[in-house]
Structure 1
Amino acid sequence: MKVRKALLTDAESVSKLLGQLGYQTSPKLIRDKLEALEFSARDTVLLAQDGKNIIGVISLHVLELFHQPGRLGRITSLVIDDDFRGQGVGAMLFPLLTRFLQSNFASGLR
């Protein structure tokens, strides 16, 4: 298994994963979102991949805090494929997520 940044070509796989949680997101919507975030330094979508299969996705956004100094990371989506839950896939995503937060000087995560 490996962890990598999502590509536009991953839209269909990500859409199917989100569907496991009941979200009705079309591959086109996911592709549009990935395209909008593609060059953002403060937003990322990371995938866990097993062979050719996408088995996990997490989206992370770094926000500027208004009420105090610093930035905050916010997870807006986290899905692990039904067949791979409980096998540590989510834990595999967190080292890259942590590096992303550190590179954006985020002091916390929600």
Structure 2
Amino acid sequence: MNIREAELKDAAAIQVLLEQLGYPTDDGFIAKRLGELSKLTDHFDIVYELNEEVLGFVSLHFIPQIAFEADYAVISFFIVDDNSRSLGIGKELEEYCTSLAVERKCKRILVHSNARRTDAHRFYLRQGFVEYPKDFVKFL
């Protein structure tokens, strides 16, 4: 399998992927965040690697819920390289995240996707996701 937890050496490739989605970052920021987040037990940064090149990235969180016995899995970033889409990479990454969520006995996975990313929406629907009530955000 070409899927593994992200390492500090992946920071530059992850930065490029994030920029493809419109999330520019300063050099060194992703490496810093990878180092900080790798210490958490409820957070996983995952990459898809082929021939030593990172072609996909997922940031997955497990959030305890007071009203449920199980955690809630949340995918906050899900990116496949622009030039590597429709090769099954996203499907493999999503299925890997689902398997992690099942191992933790989660009953649901939430994924955030910008309204303008209609291709991504079709992908999520094919993977068994359903649209859910609106999210609201308050910027601080």
Question: Are residue 94 (structure 1) and residue 75 (structure 2) matched?
Answer: no
More displaced, 11-20 or 45-54?
A: 45-54
Change (3 A) 1:80 1:88: same
Q: Secondary structure at the match of 1:18?
A: helix
The aligned counterpart of 1:12 is 12
Say if 2:61 and 2:74, in contact at 8 Å, map to a contact too: yes
Identity of aligned residues (%): 25
- For residues 31-50 of structure 1, the aligned pairs below 5 Å read 31-50=31-50
Larger Rg: 2
Q: Deviations over 1:63-104 (max 9, x none)?
A: 011333321000000111010111111011133212321332
- The runs of at least 4 aligned residues of structure 1 exceeding 6 Å deviation read none
List per-residue Cα deviations over 1:7-60 (Å, max 9, x = no partner). Answer: 011111100010001101234221122112213221101111111211000010
User: 2:61 — aligned with what?
Assistant: 61
Larger mean Cα displacement after TM superposition, 60-69 or 72-81: 60-69
Structure 1 residue matching 2:108: 3-state secondary structure: strand
| Residues 11 and 27 in structure 1, CA contact (< 8 A), matched pair in contact too | no
Q: Give, in whole Å, the separation in 2 of the partners of 1:108 and 1:23.
A: 26
| Bigger strand share | 1
SS in structure 2 of the partner of residue 87 of structure 1:
coil
- CA–CA separation in structure 2 for the residues paired with 1:51 and 1:44: 22
How far apart are the structure 2 equivalents of 1:27 and 1:4? 23
User: Separation in 2 of the partners of 1:24 and 1:68?
Assistant: 36
Which blocks of at least 5 consecutive residues in structure 2 are unaligned?
111-140
Structure 1 residue runs of 5 or longer lacking an equivalent are none
With structure 1 as the length reference, what TM-score do the two structures score? 0.89
